[in-house]
Amino acid sequence: MANPKKSALIVVDMQEDFCEPNGALAVKDGRGVVNYINELMSYPGLTLKIATQDFHPHDHISFASQHPGTEAFKSEHTIRNPENEGETQTTLLWPDHCVRGTKGVELIPELHINKVTHIVHKGLDTRVEAYSAFGPPFRNPRISMSELDTILKDAGITDVFVVGLAYDFCVKCTAVDAVEHGYRTFLIEDGTKGVFQSGEAVDGLRKELREKGVVVVGAESEELMA
């Protein structure tokens, strides 16, 4: 017998540091998607509503401040899997953001936290970047994975809907990873905004996501959650 459909909403990184006016890595109009996300969280068809939180130590490897001579938003850095020197990840460097214990790490107060069933932290390991809420991209061996996959599997989730910030980094990587972990994956564009927002950037992003098996949809597709 086929598994019954069970859906989860994954609300990625709706945190002060990704929002105007004071965020260290503020995404233009990022705070504005929260109203739509709050609406989505009221849908009766959702078994789980998970909020993720980028949760870095003060000396995280993704901070330009840790690499003299580099520039946030511009310089790239190659990160090695600490347990397999041969496996690397190239990432953009960022301003210090979402540091544990600071204002910037907090979920924005507009998010209806009372509707959230789980909070998943990511980016805790100083040594590696983890855009995806499932954990760092390293596969051999996997290191510092989050509890997200276990939470979804334990609840029998088959379908996931991804929204939040930022479209082109953590939302994208979480959606692509969700496909890889075996979930039917929808990214709802009305619930997300990117760091890079040009038409060209968004077109490229959509194409890449679709090639990787993510169903990119808009608000008109809400019946998918039923």
Q: Does 159 bind Zn ion (CB under 5 A)?
A: no
177 is known as an active-site residue: no
Instruction: Identify the helix (H) or strand (E) that includes residue 208.
Output: helix 199-211
Binding mask 35-54 for Zn ion (x = CB under 5 A): -------------------x
Q: How far is the CB of 130 from ligand VGL (least distance, A)?
A: 8
Task: Give the Å distances, CA to CA, from 114 to 38, 137, 188.
Answer: 10, 31, 22
Per rule CB under 5 A, count of chain residues that contact Zn ion: 1
170 is known as an active-site residue: yes
Phi, psi of 107 (to 5 degrees): -65, 145
59 is known as an active-site residue: no
User: Which of the following is catalytic: 19, 54, 96, 122?
Assistant: 122
> Choosing among Zn ion, ligand VGL, none, which partner's interface includes residue 165 (Cβ < 5 to 8 Å by kind)?
ligand VGL
Instruction: Give the span between the Cα atoms of 10 and 29, in whole angstroms.
Output: 19
Q: How far is the CB of 9 from ligand VGL (least distance, A)?
A: 16
Instruction: Give the span between the Cα atoms of 184 and 190, in whole angstroms.
Output: 19
Report whether 70 contacts 151 (CB < 8 A): no
Q: How far is the CB of 137 from ligand VGL (least distance, A)?
A: 13
Instruction: Give the span between the Cα atoms of 11 and 3, in whole angstroms.
Output: 24
Q: Which residues bind ligand VGL (CB under 6 A)?
A: 13, 18, 25, 54, 62, 94, 131, 165-166, 169-170
Report whether 174 contacts 132 (CB < 8 A): yes
Q: How far is the CB of 42 from ligand VGL (least distance, A)?
A: 24
Catalytic machinery residues: 13, 122, 170
Residues of the shown chain interacting with Zn ion in the complex, contacts defined by CB under 5 A: 54
